[in-house]
Structure 1
Amino acid sequence: MSSNATSGDHRRVKSAAFLFACGCAGAAPHWLDSARSLWPAISLALMLGGYGLRSVMRGQLTRGSSASVPEIDRAKLPSLDVVVAARDEEAVVPRLVERLTSLRYPSSQLTTWVIDDGSLDRTSELLDDLASQHPGLNVIHRQRNAGGGKSGALNTALNRLKGEWLLVLDADAQLQDDLLERLVPYALDGGWSAVQLRKAVIDADRNWLTRSQAMEMALDAVIQSGRLANGGVAELRGNGQLIKRSVLEASGGFNEDTVTDDLDLSFRLLTHGALVGLLWDPPVQEEAVPGLQALWKQRQRWAEGGLQRFFDYWPVLTSAQLSLRQRLDLTAFFLLQYALPVVSFADLSTALITRSVPVYWPLSVVAFSVSGLAYWRGCRDGSEGPEIPSASLANLFVAIAYLGHWFVVIPWVTLRMSLLPKRLVWAKTSHGQEHPVQA
């Protein structure tokens, strides 16, 4: 049996066990007397809500130094590879190369790689033409059926890299010219093995959905920075992740048996004692998903990848190999991000069947309230790059309601993972809008 099949079977069993446990937890309080039925939710709301609140309030929105790097210090900057995996990206490839070639960094220390992963449009042709114009641009062509998805494409480049660090970007990434001069010193000074840039949405003003995603990215950065301040864990987000190559190789490279290489790598780095830092400014700029159908497809992949990595690494994550604070942090946010939506769905289903009142509403209210506070912090503290939507009451109300989609996505994905085998594919987000980079 192949390793993919084996891991798929194990994940299916674990998904079914997780679904069953959450179903029991959601239904059980309905068989208690009314005076005690709310106690499980109230207890969890106090514990998990308290930890989430502490994380939001302690978050430190770190900004890279904007001072010019002296020539003597520039000469000491480590070698760096910028790596982009691209599939059917003809709409954004010219803009991408323009941004990459304008980055300020010692030319002798910087190499740029773009992997054409079997594109069916003009991506391959455009890249070859651009490579002839820019000697520092290296293009790798890969067969579309080579396997491994985005991870496979990145591993193909990893075998050729020589730099001490690599910066992984998506094809729609937009960057400020001084990003590398600020990001790399931050990683070195902080002793980080990897750093994730805050993701900033460049088209937040397109509609309510893109505006909510822009606020969601700010919320995510606030919570991650707070988790770090609590001694917990920060995670990579795919686009805009700087990684020390020696640590990446020691961790086994990019996992080709997962649908979210960034989330999986976050945990493998953690189990190797490598910590991930977070930089608020400068951000990596990207396009939001413009419609509900594309959002549904993207969030299913994110939910599945998020659950996969917990199922795959849970024995290590709960062992003494991690610190007590890290284990508490992972437990709290696993319960809030993944268990709560499934438990809430089971709670609501049981309430409808038994004609009773849902009992987990206190925990849900606390979770949404903490999210609202994280929105408020992220939207009011200022940022470089695209302007984050204001934390007005109307925007907060819509953005909080928008988070409710996770209470549909995660139960559905859990059920699907419990019943169906997974076929690993690269489910990329389509691009095509032209937006100028914002400093």
Structure 2
Amino acid sequence: MVSGTAVVDDAQPRSTHAAPPEQRRLVLVAYAVGFALVALCFGLDRTLGVVAGVLNVVFGIYFCRHLAFAVAAARWAERDMLAAEVGLTTYTPSVAVLVGCKNEELVVDGMVTALFALDYPADRLTLVVVDDGSDDSTGARLDAWAARDPRLRVLHRPLGSGGGKSGALNDALSLVDADIAVVFDADHEPEPAALRRLVRHFRDPVVGAVMGRCVIRNGRDSQLAGTVFVDFLSGYLVNEYGRQALFELPAYGGANCAVRMSTLRALGGWNPHTVTEDTDLTLRVLMAGQRVRYDLSAVDFEEAVVSARRFWTQRYRWARGHQKCFRDYWRPLMRSPYLSLVEKIETTLFLLVYHVPLLAGIGLLLTVLRAFDIGELPIVGLLPLSMLLFIGPLAELSVGLLIGRVERRAAWRLIGFLPAFALSIWITTRAYLDGMLGRPYSWVKTSRSGATSTVKVDAPAPLAVSAATTRGRAS
């Protein structure tokens, strides 16, 4: 993701609906005092048993949700791909492709090369890349590209301009006048047809934004990168497809995504007071009465983090921003006239996904306490708590591997999710406590490694990402 020097202070959210930090701190105190009082009145064992029962209900709901998405993807995803060639050449609105870069010298050349290879009418396409105060060779590389090819426009932001990725993209808006804005990240390399596949959905006036499918290209670079590769198969081939197929409520993902320019300008652009501008924009689009669509055939390739430190940096930002979006928007979401009750429930479950690992940590703690005969379990406690923590996501991951047609040995990468899940519990818990305590958070850039390798697939298939689509990258 693009980085800036902005500090996101939870005391100053864009939305006026979120409680101030002082109130959030009181909520934490209320949790502790309430638990202590209930335990005093009814006993520790019974109190812990009730907590375990409530958690079982929550995990059961998410288990059913994961399973439904897995079934939907296994049943219909490949069929939908067969119809993915419809309407690729008959609708060509004007498009501005926007990319923000900060210290991206390792990946910027591959990204610009991929942008020049996009299959779209030249007179309907504008390419704008923002150098967001880089102190490496990113700016010079972009200027060299622009000097060779006038299709590329480069905007240099001064160091300390602020706003992070949102600030960079908002500055780019002043340079363009187009119907659709399409956003990629600096490490992304879209397939040539990605633009046509994204913009065709805007024929429908109710569509405000469209998300494409991101594929990890360096899954062989480390065990963690391989885990993220499988995670993206689950997230894009199964989870987002399931949300589209069952609820028509996929999320705008922030990169390899398109947004209607009139919608974006009416909403005031991207929110500079959040570190997850994609989730924030998703909610604002929905509450404005428009919808997001997902196109699993609009593919681009991106780089996975290759170390635990980079994983922490990236996922902490995702958790911190996602949790803030829940605090900012759940109240107006419940009052929205544009969403049905079922759609409000599903959107709330989506907003709470970065709270679930935190709850899972509490559930695992209760399981350990129960092993020492602490914590009476109610009837609902008969549900296999520890299994519900993993079976739902495992179903999504397994279906993602099947639909993605990856090589057989990639299935062993599922084992990598055990330590990754444990790390996610700690990350989301830390993010939650920091957010509730109102601790300011500085946007931290995800470091790149400049990886170019791809994970090999087993055989050609409609949903497979084959070596032929990687434009010469090593397999």
- Scaled by the length of structure 2, what TM-score is found? 0.80
Distance in 1 (CA, whole Å) between partners of 2:164 and 2:59 is 39
1:34-433 pair list within 5 angstroms: 39-59=53-73, 60-61=76-77, 62-63=80-81, 65-66=84-85, 69=88, 73=90, 76-188=91-203, 192-221=207-236, 222-231=238-247, 233-321=249-337, 322-335=339-352, 337-348=353-364, 355-356=372-373, 362-382=384-404, 388=406, 390=408, 394-399=412-417, 401-433=419-451
Q: CA deviation at 1:3?
A: 10
Match of 1:119, SS state, is: coil
The structural deviation recorded for 1:185 is 1.9
Instruction: Give the counterpart letter for 2:12 in structure 1.
Output: S
Distance 1:154 1:253 in 2: 8
What secondary structure is seen at the aligned counterpart in 2 of 1:230? Answer: helix
**Uncovered stretches (5+) of structure 2, i.e. residues with no partner:** 1-6, 455-468
RMSD over aligned Cα, in angstroms? 3.2
* Contact 1:209 1:290 (8 Å CA) reproduced: yes
Mapped to 1, the partners of 2:86 and 2:367 lie a distance apart of 59
Q: Conserved in 1, the CA contact under 8 Å of 2:248 and 2:293?
A: no
Q: Which residue of 1 aligns with 2:464?
A: none
Q: Determine if contact 2:84/2:297 at 8 Å carries over to the other structure.
A: no
Q: Which moved more, 1:276-285 or 1:301-310?
A: 276-285
2: CA distance, partners of 1:282 / 1:390: 25
CA-CA distance at 1:37 after TM superposition: 6.9
The code of the aligned residue for 2:116 comes to T
Amino acid at match of 2:152: L
Alpha-carbon offset, residue 53 of structure 1: 1.9
How far residue 154 of structure 1 moved from its aligned partner, in angstroms, is 0.5
Q: Could you tell me which runs of 5 or more consecutive residues in structure 1 were left unpaired when the two chains were aligned.
A: none
The alpha-carbon deviation at position 299 of structure 1 amounts to 0.8
- Which residue of structure 1 aligns with residue 21 of structure 2? 12
- Deviation track 1:308-332 (CA, whole Å, cap 9, x = no partner) reads 1111111112224332111111233
Cα deviation for residue 44 of structure 1 reads 3.3
How far apart, in 2, do the equivalents of 1:3 and 1:180 lie? 32
User: Cα 1:414–1:112, aligned 2, differ >3 Å: closer, same or farther?
Assistant: same
Contact 1:255 1:264 in 2 (8 A): yes
Structure 2 distance, partners of 1:373, 1:351, is 23
1-side partners of 2:374 and 2:8: how far apart? 45
Identity %: 27
Q: CA offset at residue 172 of structure 1? A: 0.8
When normalised by structure 1's length, the TM-score is: 0.87
Are the structure 2 counterparts of residues 364 and 139 from structure 1 closer, same or farther at C-alpha, using a change threshold of 3 Å? farther
Which residue in the other structure is 2:466 paired with? none
Q: Distance in 2 between matches of 1:18 and 1:195?
A: 37
Deviations 1:132-168 (A, max 9, x none): 1111100111112111111111000112221100110
Q: Is this contact kept in 1: 2:88–2:200, CA < 8 A?
A: no
Say if 1:81 and 1:167, in contact at 8 Å, map to a contact too.
yes
